[in-house]
Amino acid sequence: MLTVHELDASHGDLQALWQVSLTVEDGEIVALLGPNGAGKTTLLRTIAGVHRPTAGHIMLHGNPIDQLPPHRIVEAGVVLVPEGRRLFSTMTVLENLEMGAYTGRARKERAQTLRSVYDTFPILAERHGQLAASLSGGQQQMLAIGRALMALPRLLLLDEPSLGLAPLVVQSIFDVIGTLNRRGVTVLLVEQNAYMALEVAAHAYVMEQGRIAAYGSGDELLRDDRIRQAYLGYGPAEAATL
C-alpha cells in the first residue's frame, strides 16, 4: 500500500531523515518506535505532505505522492492525526468533525460517516454541541481521531495517540485502533507506549537519529534484548516472563 524509499528530509540546514525506507501493506497496523527527536513525527508529516522531502520517494498503491499538496494526499486516502491533537478549540465537537469532511469524496458521505464516528465514539455524540476545549484529554483524542475518520482514510497516520492520557483511556484508544483496523483501515502508528504498540502491530520499525535502526514483527521486537532495555524498561533476565 505505502512504500517509502530512501527518504531524506531537512528542517532548514538540519537534516532530520536519512535514507528512510519502509513499507506498510494493505490492512496492517505498523508501529514506528524511537526516542524523542528520532524523526518519527517528521516522517509522518512528510508522508502526509505537510513537510517536503529533499530526496527519495513516497508511493501509495504504486503512485508517487511525495510532490502532492496535503489536500490531494488526503483525497488519496492518507490522513494524519497529529501529535497534540491540533483541534479547533473554539469550535464545537460537531464543527470539528465536519471540518474533517472537506474533500469532495468525504463530503458526499458526510452524514453516513458522522453516524459511524458517533457509533465508534458515543461520547462525541453526547457532547456534539460542546466546545472542543472543554473536553477531557481522552475525549479530545477521540475527537481528533473522529475528525480524521470523517475524511474516509484508507491509511491512518497516528502520531502519539496515547500521549498524556490515563492508562484506562489509553486502553480504550488502542481498542478503537484495533476496531478501525478490522474495518479495513490501515494504520501507521507512532507511539511512546512501545509495549502496547508492539502488541497490536503486525510489524514495527525503530528509528534512531533519523534512520531506521531495526525492523521486525511485533513479537520479534518484544523479545529483542536491545529493544526491551531501551523502550520497554526491562532487561534480558526478564525475557522468560514474556
Let me know whether 130 and 172 are in one domain: no
Q: Where in the sequence is the domain holding 119, given as residue range(s)?
A: 85-152
Residue 151 to residue 103: CA distance in whole angstroms: 7
pLDDT at 232: 67
Q: What is the pLDDT of residues 181-212, one digit of tens each?
A: 999 999 999 998 888 999 999 999 999 999 99
Residues 6 or more apart whose CB falls under 8 angstroms from that of 188 comprise: 2, 24, 30, 32, 44, 47, 155, 156, 157, 158
Residue 18's SS3 state is strand
Domain containing 68 — which CATH number?
A: 3.40.50.300
Let me know whether 171 and 61 are in one domain: yes
| Spatial contact of 9 and 180, defined as CB atoms under 8 Å apart | no
Let me know whether 42 and 107 are in one domain: no
Residue 138 to residue 143: CA distance in whole angstroms: 9
CA-wise closest residue to 31 among 207, 229, 226? 207
Cell of 184: 479495513
| Spatial contact of 207 and 43, defined as CB atoms under 8 Å apart | yes
| Residue 78 burial by Cβ neighbours in a 10 Å radius (0-12, 13-18, 19+) | buried
Residue 137 to residue 167: CA distance in whole angstroms: 12
Let me know whether 133 and 224 are in one domain: no
pTM tops 0.85: yes
Tally of domains in the chain? 2
pLDDT at 242: 44
Residue 8 to residue 210: CA distance in whole angstroms: 9
| Spatial contact of 147 and 141, defined as CB atoms under 8 Å apart | no
Let me know whether 12 and 67 are in one domain: yes
Q: Which residues of the chain have pLDDT under 50?
A: 235-242
Let me know whether 51 and 72 are in one domain: yes
Domain boundary among 152, 173, 199: 152
Name the region of 212 (left: φ>0; alpha: ψ -120 to 50; beta: rest). beta
Let me know whether 190 and 230 are in one domain: yes
pLDDT at 238: 47
Let me know whether 59 and 164 are in one domain: yes
Q: What is the pLDDT of residues 73-95, one digit of tens each?
A: 999 999 999 988 899 999 999 99
Let me know whether 91 and 206 are in one domain: no
Let me know whether 73 and 186 are in one domain: yes
Let me know whether 47 and 159 are in one domain: yes
